[in-house]
Amino acid sequence: MKRKKVSVIGAGNVGATTALYLAEDNLCDVVLVDILEGMPQGKALDIAEAGPIRGYKGSFTGSNDYSAIAGSDLIVVTAGLARKPGMTREDLLNKNAEIVSGVTREIVKHAPGSMILVVSNPLDLMTYLTWKVSGFPSERVFGQAGVLDSIRFRTFIAMELGVSVSDVQGLVLGGHGDSMVPLPRFTTVSGVPVTELIPPDKLAALMQRTRDGGAEIVKLLKTGSAYYAPAASTVQMVDAVLNDHKRVIAASVYVNGPYGLKDMYIGLPVILGARGVEKIVELPLNAEESSGLMKSAGIYKETLAELKVNA
């Protein structure tokens, strides 16, 4: 059976780690593309040479030419500038919009039948931009957001309780940024609601740490941003699509009606499978949760108005 093909645009830390995790999981053939001459070729070769020991198979190639992405089943877009200390996700807007628009046009030219998974920040805005510029159906364009936010929330809960992170399931909605909405009511430890295990004040602190999760790592690293967890989150989504797992996960998706939201990309629970975003799952949010989601959407809409979309 022919192996699936995934191309990763941007061979920096997130892109290269995504390619490595894809290799480790034996999910597909991988193409790394970057504008820096030699970098994607060198990283792809390095990954390939680890194969005899790590036990993975397949083709791993690097290129500075977008024609290499032809025939891809899915494109992962990580291209863009990394967030620096003191820089908000919105500060990245104008700089990364130009980069992502150019990448999207190359995808349309060379891989018009592909799906697009956006990882570039500001995530929700870049995913909306990609959808507009590509002209692809919205179910084929989605962003990696809620998975990363959710695993950060799960990690902090596991640390607090001293339990296996594998037993914690969590859900975070809203924009991928400071206005995200962790949902403790839908977060459990082996089926037990986390609200029964952690006092409200401590749980509120963990929720805030989740909102600040990316900034916390940026502050610690000083010269970069997170890449292991973002790459792992990306690969989980790729796996769901390539293997039609129909995973119920939070992703940045186009919404025009559900949850009372109109014409935007924002983090919501979806069923992700071979057709991309197969369904938005509508949860019965209470007043506080709904208010948080609406506030997040409002902030997003304000920033979206500053985004010049040249489709």
Q: Return the active site residues.
A: 176
Within 8 A by CB and 6+ apart from 69, the residues are 7, 9, 31, 33, 75, 106, 107, 110, 111, 114
DSSP letter (8 states) at residue 37: T
Residue 306 Cα distances to 91, 129, 228, angstroms: 11, 12, 31
Distance CA 110, CA 100 (A): 15
> Helix, strand or coil for residue 281?
coil
Q: Are 96 and 81 in contact (CB under 8 A)?
A: yes
Q: Are 126 and 143 in contact (CB under 8 A)?
A: yes
Q: Is 174 left (phi over 0), alpha (psi -120 to 50) or beta?
A: left
Q: Is 115 left (phi over 0), alpha (psi -120 to 50) or beta?
A: beta
CA Rg value for the chain: 19
Pairing assessment for the beta strands 192-193 and 188-189 based on DSSP bridges: antiparallel
Residue 97 Cα distances to 91, 122, 138, 167, 178, angstroms: 11, 9, 18, 38, 20
Q: Return the number of other C-beta atoms located less than 10 Å from residue 219's C-beta.
A: 11
Alpha carbon 54 to chain centroid distance?
Answer: 26
